[in-house]
Structure 1
Amino acid sequence: MSRFLVRGRAVWRALILLLLLAALAAAWLWRDLDRFGRTPLDIASAGQTIDIARGTGFKQIVDELRSRGLTRAAPLYWRALAEQMHVAGRLHAGEYALVPGLTPRSLLENMAAGRVLQHDFTIIDGWTFAELRAALDKATPLRHLTRGMDNATIMQKIGAPGEMPEGRFLPETYAYVKGDSDLDVLKRSYAAMHKTLDALWPGRDQGLPLTTPYDALILASIVEKETGRADERKRIAGVFVRRLEHHMLLQTDPSVIYGMGASYTGNIHKRDLTTDTPYNTYTRPGLPPTPIALPGKPAIEAALHPASGDELYFVAKGDGTHVFARTLAEHDRNVDCYQLKRCR
């Protein structure tokens, strides 16, 4: 056998060995990359986030993770995993949640899909617009653009110039992301109320003493402030509808209180019932000029579908419920019993 043949076989063996070693190394690296992708990051507690600004490079993202001690893996591993997932150039800016158990693969998937962290802001049924503004002012991480604006400017900014803001925003929970502003939340809430009224108004009971959807909104706000009980809303709405039909004064304390503004300190007195304001339903007939709060959808439905009957009065029993009456004499007895504690 010639020396060249022996040398050739030796070269082939060396090449095969190198290829085998390379294959083994590649398989090991592949398995190690897979292990890295599935191993949770070092996140000790919930509530952490990472905020990726627009224009941030891939290396900067990894450097941020490493500087915060969330990963000890070399940047090469992160780059290789991103290339394997075909997301290296498709990561979106935004705020992302870092929760215990989150893996590098899941984090990159979230960033590639733009699954940014959402925050919730809940508008409570019965809030006034002033209370809504105060709550928005405390919400984070909203951008607070309305600070220093008067109500008229706010309504102009959300596309409703000239409208009074009270009652115009639907109580619901609204999701927002970092970078959104309080005006964004108000626009969505205003649109939601507009859509709700448009949907409910055509199906209202016929013959109601309400000529416009805005009238329904005003009545709904009174119902909202009078009771939080689902089983009483339509019954209370029925009382007010019949009083309107009989041209009786509504005599609803929440409207009087709203008209008192800052002078209301927690108690309503007899003099307050006789002091005239645009919202004093003891001195002025009909509905007040605007809603007195933000009514929820159930209160609006109650105003549009009031319970039938002949009750014209109600009084709070002190336990969150009300007692109803058909006549003034019966109502006076209820007031004596439940308000003055002189039951007989």
Structure 2
Amino acid sequence: MDEFRRRPVNKLTPPTTPPSSQLPTVPPQKSPVPSPPAEPILETPAGVSPPPKKRSWVKITIIALAGLVGLGVVALAGLFWWYTAQLAPVNPDATEELVVVEVVSGSSPSQIAQTLEESGVIRSQTAFLWYTRFERVQNALQAGTYRLSPSESTQEITTHLVNGRVDTFSITFFPGATLTNTTDTPESQKLDVTSVLLRAGYSEEEVARGIAAQYPAFADTLFQGRPTDADLEGYVYGETYQFPSNATVEDILTGTFTEFWAVIQENNLVAAFEAQGLTLYEGITLASIVQRESGGDDKEEIAQVFYSRYRSGMVLGSDVTYQYITDKLGVERDINFDSEYNTRRYPGLPPGPIATPGYAALLATAHPADTEYLYFLSGDDDVTYFARTLEEHEANIVQHCQVKCQII
């Protein structure tokens, strides 16, 4: 039972502090001096207050406004360039082209601008309206019939409309021209009567109607001896004329007939042709052949050749006569083409003029040279060579016409 014997309980007693003499000696240590707390690093120098946020927005606003102003300047510059370009002529090279523009009474500036643009004489109706507004002439535009050119600027066209007068225009018909031209010549280079009138701004219907008209006022003067079924070939006298803008094709052709008759009277051509055994109509016909055959100062000699052959019963032998009729009919040129216009096959004069004779050709036909030639040719050097006999003529061909004389 010893194991169940209680062990004696030791009472806890406080530890006894040894005498100071028994404590180990520890050298005194200095307490570390605490460092002052670190100061934060400031973005702005000490003592300077950061700028308020409001100033940043002011700066942004100024930059934005400057950008807008810059864009505005660029836009205005572009607009000015466009405006200036739109005032320029539609086609500066179309100096011979005229367009008839009818400004109806009571038309508004916008309607006038639209008419001009649709007629092809201005680039932009908007630019036209701006210009007339800037110039304060919108209410000064006047109604009327105008002949305007695509070669004119908007400023020039505006001047026409503000002046409001019935403008005149010039039109030139050419000696040696025919009524029509069916060849492949570019339209801008054609000199025939129809092409000239079309370029002057008349429609095909107006031209056709004018050419088909009868003009009875000239029946006993210029048209004396002319067959009633003949057209106006040879009668549209070559000259430059001035006409009012509202002139019709009939007015223009009447003007050319009046001028032609004046030339005939001033030079007493009716009597001169009669002295050569020709009527006025026949004289104009022969003069038209002389016009087409001659390229220089040899018209009197050429006229004499035709008179000599005509009076002796020989064929005139003029290539330009068969070329005229084949071109008119739109068929291939053929020296053997069967037509009374072919003076290589048929003796005498052709049925009518083959072109409009000029002043010099008319006078040469009325007063031919006093020579005895029966032949002539235009050499490769464009010089006209005359001959009295066939042998001389054939020699001229060999010596001077190896290229052109091979062309039919």
TM-score greater than 0.5 by the shorter chain: yes
Query: 1:138 corresponds to which residue?
Result: 198
Query: 2:304 corresponds to which residue?
Result: 238
Provide closer, same or farther for how the CA distance between residues 136 and 338 of structure 1 changes in structure 2, counting only shifts above 3 A. Answer: same
Question: Higher helix fraction: Structure 1 or Structure 2?
Answer: 1
In our comparison, the structure showing a higher alpha carbon Rg is 2
How far apart, CA to CA, are the structure 1 residues paired with 2:390 and 2:100?
A: 64
- Of residues 154, 160, 175, the one that matches 1:125 is 175
Deviations for 1:228-258, whole angstroms, at most 9, x for unmatched residues? 21x1111211211222233332111111223
Query: 1:322 corresponds to which residue?
Result: 384
1:95-134 to 2 correspondences below 5 Å: 95=146, 110-111=163-164, 114=165, 116=167, 118=169, 120-131=170-181, 132=192, 134=194
Contact 1:259–1:278, Cα closer than 8 Å, also in 2: no
Identity %: 24
Local SS of the residue matching 1:294 = coil
Contact 1:123–1:170, Cα closer than 8 Å, also in 2: yes
Larger deviation: 287-296 or 170-179? 170-179
Contact 2:172–2:196, Cα closer than 8 Å, also in 1: no
Contact 2:264–2:270, Cα closer than 8 Å, also in 1: no
How far apart, CA to CA, are the structure 1 residues paired with 2:366 and 2:161?
A: 50
Contact 1:144–1:181, Cα closer than 8 Å, also in 2: no
Contact 1:311–1:325, Cα closer than 8 Å, also in 2: yes
Provide closer, same or farther for how the CA distance between residues 50 and 233 of structure 1 changes in structure 2, counting only shifts above 3 A. Answer: closer
- Name structure 1 gaps, 5 residues minimum: 1-41, 83-87
- Of residues 293, 310, 320, the one that matches 1:226 is 293
State the 1:264 CA deviation: 4.6
Provide closer, same or farther for how the CA distance between residues 196 and 92 of structure 1 changes in structure 2, counting only shifts above 3 A. Answer: farther
Query: 2:88 corresponds to which residue?
Result: 45
RMSD (Å) for aligned C-alpha atoms: 4.0
What residue identity is the alignment partner of 1:321? Answer: V
Provide closer, same or farther for how the CA distance between residues 176 and 107 of structure 1 changes in structure 2, counting only shifts above 3 A. Answer: closer
1:184 aligns with 2:242: no
Question: Could you tell me the TM-score, scaled by structure 2's length?
Answer: 0.56
Provide closer, same or farther for how the CA distance between residues 205 and 189 of structure 1 changes in structure 2, counting only shifts above 3 A. Answer: closer
- Name structure 2 gaps, 5 residues minimum: 1-83, 92-98, 114-124, 182-191, 220-227, 404-408
Local SS of the residue matching 2:238 = coil
Contact 2:166–2:245, Cα closer than 8 Å, also in 1: no
State the 1:288 CA deviation: 1.4
Contact 2:303–2:364, Cα closer than 8 Å, also in 1: yes
Contact 2:340–2:351, Cα closer than 8 Å, also in 1: yes
Higher normalized contact order (CA 8 Å, seq sep 6+, divided by chain length): 1
Contact 1:169–1:192, Cα closer than 8 Å, also in 2: no
Aligned residues: 278
Deviations for 1:249-281, whole angstroms, at most 9, x for unmatched residues? 211111122343436535x44xx1xx5421222
Query: 1:215 corresponds to which residue?
Result: 282
Question: Could you tell me the TM-score, scaled by structure 1's length?
Answer: 0.64
State the 1:291 CA deviation: 0.8
What residue identity is the alignment partner of 1:223? Answer: V
Query: 1:36 corresponds to which residue?
Result: none
